[in-house]
Structure 1
Amino acid sequence: MTVTLPPSSNPGPGPAIDEEVHGVSLWRGAFRRIRRNPSAIAGVVIVLAFTVVALAAPLLTTYQPGSAQWSGQVTPSSVPGPSDEHWLGLDRFGSDMWTQMVYGARQSLIYGVISTAIGLTVGASLGALAGGFGAVGGRIGAWVDTAVMRFVDVMLSIPSLLLAVSIAAVLGQNSYAIMIAIGTAQVPIFARLLRGSMLSQGKSDYVLAASALGLRKRRIVMGHVLPNSIGPTIVQATLNLATAIIEVAALSYLGLGSSDPAVAEWGRMLVAAQDRFDAAPRLAIMPGVAIAITALGFTLFGEALREALDPRTRR
């Protein structure tokens, strides 16, 4: 007697397993999708180039920032351009322009990373507090969630740049004031994002299952809800780096940056180039282009990372 198996039971190579669904972690799958995204590659290249220039600034020039030893060569109607000694020429104060640019990249990286770290730390703490109590529920949880978010709403009611300018003006004209001001302006963004993500995760099936198994609510929130909610906040931090670099330049342009002439800042270079724009427009064009390209790089990378981690756009 011969038994014929149905076609589905015949041995042979089955359908290919979709790596996007089976056997690939969330971050590994996101990395694979980023590698196939031309915008992400362009953003990574820009970010890496900016980071290398910022970190290797002392190795890329033999001069010191703010050194005006060639000030005698600068006149109201003439600013020396590129030469063998000065690749990008001199600025209006008689300093080497290339040195100012590479050290300006270092300052932008330091200010951007530290200010974003401040905003992420404080904002994530507030968001975790509100989202944790909100996910737990109960009268006390609702009261804590409401109190924290009303404070965040007050901060959101003030435009971020205006809030940063106000804080920097109160703290004084120094580098620390800029970083604290920009970081404070970013706090409500991270707080609302993490709180909303935690509340969404709190309604998931795995939370209901953990509660049914008798796990304590604190363990569920800290061990399951918070780790699964932090991803979008990290992605937002990448996007906020672009905003931070622009706001650093804006505050320096308004005269709220460091008053130390040895500190090179792209925003302050834009201010200094105003009265020499007719004679040497490159003094304003070069730092302006550097700010735009750097912000574009962080934006492209952040958007690509967000799309790679979003389940709705993976396919």
Structure 2
Amino acid sequence: MKVRKSSLPLHPYVLLFIAILSVSVSSIMIKSSDTPTAIAGMYRLYISAFIMLPFVPWKTIRYLSMNAKDWGAVFLAGLLLGLYFLFWMESLVYTSVASSMVILALQPLFVMIGSFFVFRERAGILSVLCLVTALLGSVIIAWGDIGVSREALIGDGLSLIGTILVSAYMLVGQKLSRKIDANLYSVVVFFLGGSVLLAYSVLNGFSLTNYESLDWTYFLLLAIVPTIFGQYIFNRLLKSIGATTVSVGIIGEPVLAIMLAYLFLGETISVFQLVGGLITLLGMLIYFWRQSLQYSAVKRLSH
């Protein structure tokens, strides 16, 4: 396990937990609003980029060792982020929070496969077993939607596409993490992602301004909680612990989302979701127990 130097204010796994908790709230907020998901995603990303502008070290831009290919990768990351929000947020219109979120548990599997081809990173047997365990939990939970309705399966399909897109976004972010400041990177990709959703909203004739004060508060909260305290922290962590470990941490998001949906939206927890959630959580805990031991060992050797 490679531990890269960083200027993180807290231990990376503490920050990872904060980010997971923050993004878990987003599905509850999206389900609780009637605004078009593309509009909510657009303002979520635009407002986040605006809030973060003062924290970007603009003076360092001239010293970046970024070529045209690297900036093209940044553009690709923004495109992937915007499409991810479009597909995943729309999935919540068709299916339950539990089923949509739990499909995100497939993300580390896609990222691990991508990391092997892009970075030549090889996963240990225990790590693979943890991911297989998480995958099994995801299958069990999603299985509960089969035969329920055609809409639920459409929602699961949209969530799966979103998961593939965000996995690619994580891999591109890790590739760029050594070349560009995380604050600058986040502002650029948030703005580009918001622009993707803006184009979609205009093409579909959605109103861009005709919303009540409660909706604007909702957009602001989406920007602050799951985006700045969630997605931005994920971007910061890509340099120190890598895309695979960050994505494995996101496995905990569905479990927290299921609990929050039960508490605040009154969604029931089926046997499939309960058993699958426990299996997913078990795989995640074993993985992080192993990773934390390796992280501590490497840090001691580095000193």
TM-score by length of 1: 0.32
The structure where helix makes up a greater share of residues is 2
Larger Rg: 1
